[in-house]
């Protein structure tokens, strides 16, 4: 069943003191109860965040994980380790992971498989670079990210997948895709899923938009029929802005 979701990707921000402060400020605010709210702090603060939110409906997600169960992978964190501290949701394939840590579609396919095998929810991110958009290659590029990174999963696994369309040129740049551009791509994604799986699966999956979402533009973007929420970076670091984005849903 398609849900409304607003997820805050804190990236490499917020030490433990700031994490507690931000979560306290968020808990004080009235948040739209129709929206599933997720925060994704850095690894070191996941367990503390989860405990701080024990009496709240806000969920905690990891920003990444390794595809292997365990082993000699210095600096990495596995699905079991996340689950051991109560984390059931993981963001995979964020454009910063793709660009700075060389995560390609083949690697992401493995991470997706592991997350689903471990019964976690995967927030799968994808989106084109500016040059793909200007050359008109954005639909092809997105289709190949989905096909190569995600479409190996079984139909039954889609219930544990959330999609996040994040055009790279709109992330952290202040430049937002227009609501029409977001809608156009989200509709294309549903069509692509319909062709590969079924219309039911395409209609049931939540597709978030990410890239410079702010209180001022959230309502218009979330108002589009195929946009089910947002993956928020910068504006998620301020409780007032994040709450305003959550409450931007009708
Ligand atoms: P932004 O980041 O909202 O700061 O553009 C979005 C994201 O990277 O998920």
What does the pLDDT look like over 58-93, one tens digit per residue?
999 999 999 999 999 999 999 999 999 999 999 999
Distance 30 CA to ligand 1 centre (A): 23
- pLDDT of 174: 76
DSSP 154: -
- pLDDT of 120: 98
Q: Which atom of ligand 1 is nearest to the CA of 125?
A: 9
Residues 36-52 have a mean pLDDT of 98
- pLDDT of 199: 98
Query: What percentage of the chain exceeds 70 in pLDDT?
Result: 100
166 catalytic residue (yes or no): yes
139: buried, middle or exposed (CB in 10 Å: 19+, 13-18, 0-12)? middle
pLDDT of 175 higher than 90 = no
138 catalytic residue (yes or no): no
Per the residue annotation, which of 36, 88, 94, 138 is the catalytic one? 94
Per the residue annotation, which of 96, 103, 166, 186 is the catalytic one? 166
Q: What is the CA radius of gyration of the chain?
A: 17
Lowest mean pLDDT among 73-82, 102-111, 168-177, 183-192: 168-177
Residues 23-41 have a mean pLDDT of 97
Residues with C-beta less than 6 Å from any ligand 1 atom: 9, 166, 171-172, 210-213, 231-235
Q: Which atom of ligand 1 is nearest to the CA of 171?
A: 5
Residues 6+ apart with CB under 8 A from 54: none
**115 close to 153: Cβ distance less than 8 angstroms:** no
pLDDT band at residue 176, thresholds of 50, 70 and 90? confident
**3-class SS shares of the chain: helix, strand, coil, % to 5:** 45, 15, 40
State phi, psi for 204 to the nearest 5 degrees: -85, -20
Residues 178-189 have a mean pLDDT of 96
Name residue 9's beta-bridge partners.
40
């Amino acid at each position: 069943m398609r849900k409304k979701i607003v997820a805050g990707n804190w990236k490499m921000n917020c030490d433990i003191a700031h994490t507690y402060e931000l979560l306290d400020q968020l808990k004080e605010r009235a948040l739209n109860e129709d929206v599933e709210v997720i925060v994704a702090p850095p690894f070191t603060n996941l367990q503390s965040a989860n405990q701080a939110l024990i009496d709240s409906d806000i969920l905690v997600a990891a920003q990444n994980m390794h595809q292997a169960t365990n082993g000699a992978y210095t600096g990495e964190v596995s699905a079991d380790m996340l689950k051991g501290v109560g984390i059931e949701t993981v963001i995979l394939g964020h454009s910063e992971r793709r660009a700075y840590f060389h995560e390609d579609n083949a690697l992401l396919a493995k991470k997706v498989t592991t997350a689903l095998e471990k019964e976690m929810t995967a927030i799968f991110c994808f989106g084109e670079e500016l040059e793909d958009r200007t050359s008109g290659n954005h639909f092809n590029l997105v289709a190949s990210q989905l096909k190569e990174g995600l479409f190996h999963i079984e139909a039954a696994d889609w219930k544990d997948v959330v999609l996040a369309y994040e055009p790279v040129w709109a992330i952290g740049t202040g430049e937002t895709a227009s609501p029409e551009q977001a809608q156009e791509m989200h509709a294309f994604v549903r069509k692509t899923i319909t062709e590969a799986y079924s219309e039911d699966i395409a209609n049931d999956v939540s597709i978030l938009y990410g890239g410079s979402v702010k209180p001022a533009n959230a309502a218009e973007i979330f108002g589009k029929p195929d946009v089910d929420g947002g993956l928020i970076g910068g504006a998620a670091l301020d409780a007032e802005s994040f709450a305003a984005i959550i409450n931007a849903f009708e």
